[in-house]
Amino acid sequence: MGNQRQSLVSLNRINQQHGLRVLDEREIRLKINNVGTFKIEDFSPIFLDDALCFNNIIAVDVSTVKIGISHFGEVHAVRGATVIKKNNSLTINRTRPMIVLGEISDAQVSFELEEQLKNINSARNSIILLDGDLKEMMGVSKSLSLFESLKNTSNIIISISKGLIFPSIRLPEEINDSPFVGRIMNGKSNRAYLAKLRLGAPLLKIEAYPEMELEELSRALASLISIDGVEYGYPEALRIAHIYSKLLPVEVLTLRCVMQRKFGIEILREIDNRKILLGGFWS
């Protein structure tokens, strides 16, 4: 989804092809995003009356932040947070920041994700929400075994990408402006779907594990909407997990002090040459 290509396009050519009025004959650089090529194979409306019965909604998110540079190279911090919503109660667990010396990698993020999943390995009959690309998360062997163990206890794992789908994507004419889920024909995996969880909300790309029939996924999403709420078209538990996984500026300052005083590693702010050279026009 993230792959983009750039093309120099003549404004005159745009004018000829689309009958649009343009300003002049200068060339402009357009970003062409291939997410607009997604095609829906089949789809199912989401009816709240058809909701499956689940005990909990569990949301997990992991965030990273660069805290500076040192003689080891870049210094990052990683933190995970888990939100458990059951009946009318809400439980939030988050870890202390894990410091990573050198460039951050998927390994550190995957490690923190595994730690969060281990904390919920006793979950039963729950919807487990993750942020990001499920295929990439399952590429790590330990994560795959954790996913499998969670599946065996009647849990459903759903990942949701925060990046919004390109708005001009063509949807079947039968889809009205209402909640629905549709299978992506040309996705990276057969677990990939497009979904709209609330009237007027943007489209989201989701993935599900284990594989299930479209109607069953629709009923699971109906449960998610009923239990968790999706006021802005995005699960509230996952929104809270994202907020609590973030590292605040004051925590970054604390980590710099800890690294210097406890370990003798001086952390410096990274110098942005663009800001220095370009001044107020750096962006």
Residue-level pLDDT at 127: 93
The residues, ordered by sequence, that sit 6+ positions from 168 with a Cβ below 8 Å of its Cβ are: 36
What is the count of structural domains for the chain?
A: 2
Domain check: are 8 and 115 in the same one?
no
Rounded to whole angstroms, the Cα distance separating 248 from 65 reads 9
Domain check: are 169 and 227 in the same one?
yes
Establish if 135 belongs to a structural domain.
yes
Domain check: are 29 and 62 in the same one?
no
Burial class (CB within 10 angstroms; exposed 0-12, middle 13-18, buried 19+) of 85? buried
40 neighbors 171 (Cβ within 8 angstroms): yes
Q: What is the pTM of this model?
A: 0.77
Residue-level pLDDT at 13: 57
Which positions of the chain have pLDDT values less than 50?
1-7, 22-23, 25-28, 30-36, 141, 167
Residue-level pLDDT at 32: 46
Q: Which CATH number covers residue 45? A: 3.30.2170.10
- The two tokens of residue 249 are 């500026």
Residue-level pLDDT at 25: 47
> The domain containing residue 26 runs over which residues?
4-37
